[in-house]
Amino acid sequence: MRIPTPGDIAYICKQIFETFGIQARPFDQDEIAAFLDGSAPADPPVIRTSDFLESFLIVRLPAGQQASAALVIGPSLFAVLPDKTALGVLNDNDVPNAKHAEWLRHYASLPVIDSMKLLHAGLLIHYLIHGEKLDIDAVLSHNLSRRPAGITADMIDISLSRRRENSLLHHDPAEEKDLMQHIRNGNKEEVLKAHASIQVHKLGTLSKRSHLRNRKNLAISAITLATRAAIDGGLLWEVAYTLSDLHIQHIEELKDISQVERALIEAFADFADRVRQNKERKGSGTVALCRNIIFNRLYEDITLEHLAAVTGLNASYLSQLFKKEVGTPVSEYIQRERIEEAKKLLELTDMPLADIGARLQFNDQSYFTKVFKKHAGMTPKQFRSSRNSAAAKRHNKDRQPVASTRE
């Protein structure tokens, strides 16, 4: 195949931008060596991700008519980066606050291309340049093999020898299995008993530098397992993942080991309680799937036809099955769930009533008020007022001075 000229490479770069909306330019030997920490560009395309979560696709260029060593395509992002996540990344990299706005604009300007699409783009670019067809599985394996190996076989062997010699064996996995089964069953009392029986010193070491960090890591690992167990037990997966996020975020803020232990127990109890509450509703797997979809898409337009398409059932049959198991028609259940969500927004936010109704798919304010009153026994305005009054009373009660015991 003819070796591409600098003009060919410039044309390919232009077409990459026009097709994918992503910048591409050739790097010379010194530039690419610095970019790849001294290593040479690989034959198959590789993806490198920066400390700032920017992704770069690197495609080697053939030696010949151009001095460039590789084509670098990027930066891009694998997924949209929420501002909160982006600020966390900037803080991790010690970026001054004065530069945050500039970086947020930079993130917002980057194209979003997931890793598989980016690798497939690399296969196409490699073919245009080298005339060689690559297998995606081989490229994936190559990208994996280029990751630095943090753990060697020797490290595993010596660690196992030391643990056995000093009787520092890990906990019996049956204990962990029992604990997770109790979460699946929604049995909080048994969860607490099972947790109390596990010896903390047998849970392993996930951080050698800090005992607090070690306990936090162990707690996070346990919550991850509990999340999966709760989902297996029928808990709506969005509820389970949200619980997991909140409990882990809480644990990360703690400064004391005893607080971490207490927070972990509370997380286990929370999962078990919610699984139990969910089981009390009962219902088949089909209805559980419908409830999950409704929960996740409460702010969107949900139709019986969509639920029927997802479940693979006839709409009429699904409607009858849902009413039989839940006790209400699908449309009324959706309406009721939206009113419950509206209650939370009325109590926990200052969002205007009209905005709440519109967000939850009610046609107009009067219709929202009518439906809300039907389910809650009062109008949205009355509900918010009653909750504000109750909150004010609790606040005033908490602030009352303690009576003096002196005469």
How far is it, in rounded angstroms, from Cα 232 to Cα 244? 14
Q: What is the pLDDT of residue 131?
A: 85
Helical (H) or strand (E) element with 49: strand 46-49
The answer to whether 225 and 270 have CB atoms below 8 angstroms apart is no
Helical (H) or strand (E) element with 184: helix 173-185
- Cα 274 to Cα 80, 187, 218, 302, 344, distances in angstroms: 31, 10, 23, 25, 18
Q: What is the pLDDT of residue 367?
A: 93
Closest by alpha carbon to 296, among 326, 329, 246, 337? Answer: 337
Please report which confidence band the pLDDT of residue 407 belongs to, taking 50, 70 and 90 as the band edges: very low
Of 34-38, 266-270, 362-366, 387-391, give the lowest mean pLDDT range: 34-38
With a CB cutoff of 8 Å and minimum separation 6, the contacts of 405 are: none
The answer to whether 132 and 126 have CB atoms below 8 angstroms apart is yes
- The number of residues in the chain equals 407
Residue 81 has pLDDT above 50, yes or no: yes
Higher-pLDDT residue of 207 and 358 is 358
Q: What is the pLDDT of residue 132?
A: 86
The answer to whether 130 and 122 have CB atoms below 8 angstroms apart is no
Residue 141 CA, distance from chain mean position: 25
Residue 1 has pLDDT above 80, yes or no: no
∠ CA 238-261-185, nearest 5°, is 45
Token duo for residue 301: 């337009």
Of 104-113, 272-281, 294-303, 387-396, give the lowest mean pLDDT range: 387-396
Higher-pLDDT residue of 82 and 142 is 82
Strand partners, 60: 70
Residue 403 has pLDDT above 50, yes or no: no
pLDDT, mean over the chain = 82
What single string gives the DSSP state of each residue in 63-89? SSS--EEEEEEEEEBSS---HHHHHHH
Q: What is the pLDDT of residue 130?
A: 85
Express each pLDDT in 164-193 by its tens digit: 555 555 556 777 888 899 999 999 888 888
Q: What is the pLDDT of residue 316?
A: 93
Please report which confidence band the pLDDT of residue 40 belongs to, taking 50, 70 and 90 as the band edges: low
Q: What is the pLDDT of residue 144?
A: 60
Express each pLDDT in 106-160 by its tens digit: 999 999 988 888 888 888 998 888 888 888 887 777 666 554 455 555 655 666 6
What integer is the mean pLDDT of 393-402? 58
Q: What is the pLDDT of residue 156?
A: 57
